[in-house]
Structures are given as structure tokens and as C-alpha cells.
Structure 1
Amino acid sequence: METLFVIIMIILFFLLMAFVFSAALLTPLIGKKNFLFVIALGFVVGVIGGAFFIAPVYDDLPDMARAVYMSTSNQQETITLNISTDSDVNKAIEDVRNIPGVQSVESGEITVKTTGIGNAWKSSLESRITTANTNITSGKVISGDTMMVQLKPGSDPTQVIKQLKSWMVLISGIDIKYSIVQVKLVVDASKVDEVVKQLPQGEVVVTEINGPVEKEIQSLKNTLPGKNNIILFCGFLGVLVGLVGMFIDTITRGIRGIRDRLRQKGD
């Protein structure tokens, strides 16, 4: 959310509070009905203002905090990407590597979707998969049609998948439908947003961002009260503003009296 828009929303909320205060000033201090009217007016206007002006800002508070943390942090974040092997994985990785702010790029895991893997083949594939390509360090069958394949750093995922596909068909008749390479980027925290914007559109998908900044944001989210509580708080704030408007004369006289007594003590 743009800073100007946030400022406008907050100003509009304060204008609503000013309306409640003005309405309370114009209400004669006689009768129970006027008192209840001010309370009801303050609560309703406060809730409306909270729902329409404060809640949207509150929803974007973690993102605004993230922007502040990122702009001031000199630490690093890890961005996890998924790249389909149907595309040119090597070119996509090279394009990502050349984005300013990217410190390193590493591919280390491939999710492989296959035709059905029977129980008889599960242990055999897991124990023999490293023979399909020297860059494969391990493999695990996690469901009847899915394998997770771990690679050595710096491996060529496209070449690995080609050899793995041929090997699996040859020894078991199991074919690979498609596969997705997981790529991890180490990025300067202050450059995360810029890097994400420059990622090749349609070729990569951001699945996760981890690091010190994200931990700070998660801690902030855990400490923030619920949005409904904020809206209710705005309603009670409206009631408080209305009551202050109704009893402003009494409050002012009280403050003057305290100030006069303090002056007399000082003399």
C-alpha cells in the first residue's frame, strides 16, 4: 500500500472522530437520551471508520514493516523458486544469477512426477537411483507417483532429468511425466523486492522467502491483535471521543483547577 494512501486513510479516520467530537459538543448535557445518543454515535462511527479506513491499513502493516526492515537490514534472505524442466532451466538460472542483489544460486532438489510406482519398485528405485547420474546424491519415493531427487550443488538439472528418465524407463518401465527443479537464491535483504520483480515471468515461481527479516515479520504477526479487535477498539475510541466532547467544559475546568492549585503550591 502506498504511503500517501495510508496517510489519507488515517486522516479520514481522524475526520470521522472530529465529526463525533463536534456532534457531542452540540448535544446539550441534559437528559439520559442525549448521553446514550453520543455513545451510540461514537461507537457506530468508530466501527465504520475502523472497518473502512483503519482495517485496510492494518492488513498491510506487516508488508510495510517488511519494507522498513529490508531497507535497513544488511543481512541476507533466501528465496526459493520452482522451475519446470519443460523450460530452459539453465537459461532461467543464469538469468536469475545476473539480477543485481543475488549473491548465489543453487539447485539441489527435483520433484519428479511419474506414472505409477508400485511398492515392489519403491525400495529398488531409492537404492539404485544414484547410478542414473553421478550428480544424484539420493532419491525418495514419497507417493505412488512422486519422487524427490537430491542433486549435488552446481549440477545441470536438465541433463540429470534426461538421464534419469531414460534410466527409469529402461529398468522399470516407469516414465516421468514432468519435473520441477527447486532453486534457492541468497539475496541481500534490502534487494528482495527488486529481485522478485526482475525474476523471469512465466518461467519461475516464488514458493518461499526465508531469513532474518521474515522471522521478524512473523514475530510481528504473532504479536498483533486480530483485525476484529482493532475495529472494536476504534468503536470504543469513538465512544471516548464523544464523551470527551460532551464533558469538555467539565474536563477543561478540572484541568484549570489542578493547574491553579499547582501554581499556588509553587508560590
Structure 2
Amino acid sequence: MDPVTVILMLGLFILMLVFIFSTALLTPLIGKKNILFVVLVGFTVGAVGGAFFISPIIDDVPDMANSLFHATSSSTDVINLNVSTDVNITSFLQNTKKIDGVKSVQSNGITITTPEMSQDWQTTYLNRIKTVNENITSIQIPNNKTILLEVKNDTNPMDVVNSLETWMMYVSGSTISYSVANVTLVVEASKLNQVMSQLPQGEIIITSINGTTENSVQAVKNVIPNKNDIILFCGFLGVLVGLAGLFIDSISRVLDQLKERIKEYRKK
């Protein structure tokens, strides 16, 4: 949301509060007993203004904060993403390193999906897979259809997957259903959106974004009230404005008396 739109929506909400105040000023003509009418009008108009003008602004605060934090930050963010091994990962890594704002690219993990594995074969894979390719540093099997591999940095994931699939076919007759390389990008926070826009969206899945600026944006999101609370607050604000208009004469007299007392105190 651009600044002009924000100012316009705030201005319209203020006009609605002015309308409430003006309506309350008419109470000497319609009778002081109609305080319930003023309260009802104040709450209704305030709540409507909150729903249509204030709530959209609050909803857009995280995006505005995101743009501000990333534009002014000198720190780095970390993008974690998955890249299918069906694409040329070597080419992907090389091209990604050339993107302005990318400080480093690492591919040190592979997630593999297989047909259902028996407990015996899970044990066999755990004990023997590390010997299949010297670049495999560790292996986990969280369930009977998934194998998680950690590999040395700059290892070609396609080579690991191909050698592992050949070995699995040879020893167990099983195959690899699907595999993705886990890639980590360290990027300049101020160029995060620019970097993300240049990634091949059809070939990747972004799993997480972490960093100082992202944590700051999340902190902003955590303190923003929900939409219902905003509408209720604006409704009660409308009531207060209405009551201020209703009792403006009494408020003015109290303020005048206070000013007189201050003047008398200063004279002493």
C-alpha cells in the first residue's frame, strides 16, 4: 500500500470521527436523554471505519515493515529451498551464484523418496549407503519411504542420486521415486526480494527464510492485533468521540475552571 493511499484512508477515517462528533453536538436539539443514540451511532460508524479504512492499513503493516527493514538493513538473510534433481542442479547452482546479492550458495543435503522399505532394508541402507558415494557424510531414515542424506559442500547431488539409485537397484531391486537437493543461499537482506524474483520459480520450493530482518518482520507480525480487535477498538473510539461531542459544554467549563485555577496559582 503506497503512502498516498494510507494518508487517504486515514483522512476518511478522521472524517467519520468528525461526523460522529458533529452528530453528538446536535444532542441539545434532540435531547440529552438520547445518549444511547449517540453511543450507538459512535460505535457503529467507528467500527465501520475501522473495518474499511484502519484494518486494511494494519494488515499491510508487515509488508511495509518488510520493505523498510530490507531496504535499510546491511545484514544477510538465509533462504532454504529444495531443487528437484530432475533439473540440471549444477547449472542451477552456477547461475544462482551469479545473481547480484547472493553471497554464497551451498548444497549439502538430499531428500529421497522411495517405495515402501521394510525394516530390514532400512537397517541395510543405514549401514551401507555411506559406502556407495564418498561424498555422503550421514544418512537418516525418518520413515519407511524417506531417506535424508547429508553430503559434502559443492557435491553434485545428481551424481549422488544416480550412484545411489544404481546401487539400490542392484542390491534390492528398489528405485528412487523422487529426490530433491536441499540448497542454502546467503543473500544481502537489502536485495532479498530482488534475488527471489530471479530464482526459477517452477524448479524450486522455498522452505524457509531466516535472518535478522525476517525475525524483525515476524516480531512486528506478532504484536499486530487481529482484525476483530481493531474493529472493536475503532468502535469504542467512536463512542468516546461521540461522548466528547455530547458533553463538550461540560468539558469546556471544566477546562476553563482549570485554566483559571492555574492562573490564580501562578499569581500567588
**Distance in 2, Cα, partners of 1:126 & 1:5:** 59
**Distance in 1, Cα, partners of 2:127 & 2:229:** 55
1:192 aligns with 2:192: yes
- Does the 8 Å contact 2:58/2:224 carry over to 1? no
- Does the 8 Å contact 1:16/1:45 carry over to 2? yes
> Aligned residue for 1:40?
40
> Aligned residue for 1:106?
106
**Distance in 1, Cα, partners of 2:9 & 2:147:** 50
Aligned to 1:107, the other structure's residue is in SS state strand
RMSD: 1.8
The amino acid that maps onto 2:19 is: F
Paired residues in the alignment total 267
The amino acid that maps onto 1:106 is: Q
Aligned to 1:140, the other structure's residue is in SS state strand
Superposed counterparts of 1:62-141, under 5 Å:
62-141=62-141
- Does the 8 Å contact 1:132/1:163 carry over to 2? yes
Deviations 1:112-145 (A, max 9, x none): 1111211110011012111221111112112221
**Distance in 2, Cα, partners of 1:83 & 1:3:** 38
Deviations 1:63-118 (A, max 9, x none): 22222222222111101111111112222222221111111011111111111211
Q: TM-score, normalised to structure 2's length?
A: 0.92
Unaligned residue ranges in structure 1 (runs of 5+): none
Range with greater deviation from structure 2 (223-232 or 78-87): 223-232
1:183 aligns with 2:183: yes
Q: CA deviation at 1:216?
A: 2.2
- Does the 8 Å contact 2:111/2:179 carry over to 1? yes
Q: CA deviation at 1:30?
A: 6.0
Unaligned residue ranges in structure 2 (runs of 5+): none
Deviations 1:187-230 (A, max 9, x none): 11111122112212312222211111222233333333333222
Cα pair distance change 1:210/1:124, threshold 3 Å: same
**Distance in 2, Cα, partners of 1:6 & 1:169:** 62
**Distance in 2, Cα, partners of 1:2 & 1:120:** 61
Aligned to 1:60, the other structure's residue is in SS state helix
**Distance in 1, Cα, partners of 2:242 & 2:111:** 60
